[in-house]
Amino acid sequence: MVMIALHKINSENVSLIERDNHYKIKYKDQFTFLKLFVYSKIDSWSQENGFVKLTITDPTTIQNIREFDTSIINALDGNYSPILQNNQGATYLYLSPQVETLRYYQTKPTTIYLNLKMIRKAKYNPKANRTIIHIF
């Protein structure tokens, strides 16, 4: 399978296609993509509250994820839980402890590709709409 990872995301090129249980991510620039692969540099891996926590300091990675978060927040009128978190000067994201994520956690690579597949609709709390992320 061929994957094209974006080096830079422009929030103006991100839109959503609504489905019954989720929103498909659409990125239209020179080409149209129905999911995004984002090259990401990871500084450290840890576990916290049952999740895998990835700490990021690379400005390009942070900017790309912020651009994505901003575009989704705007598209969903704020009813979205952003990927990036900030606390005590650190920037990080959480991943569910799926089998593949835990396999990567064992080796702790310094670069990964975030596969931003879709936005899952929350049934009861619209602010909990979340991006489904797979890593490669």
Please give the pLDDT value at position 125.
Answer: 73
77: left (phi over 0), alpha (psi -120 to 50) or beta: left
Please give the pLDDT value at position 78.
Answer: 85
Please give the pLDDT value at position 127.
Answer: 65
pLDDT band at residue 69 under the 50/70/90 scheme: very high
pLDDT band at residue 53 under the 50/70/90 scheme: very high
Q: Is 83 exposed, middle or buried (0-12, 13-18, 19+ CB in 10 A)?
A: buried
Mean pLDDT calculated for residue range 12-26: 93
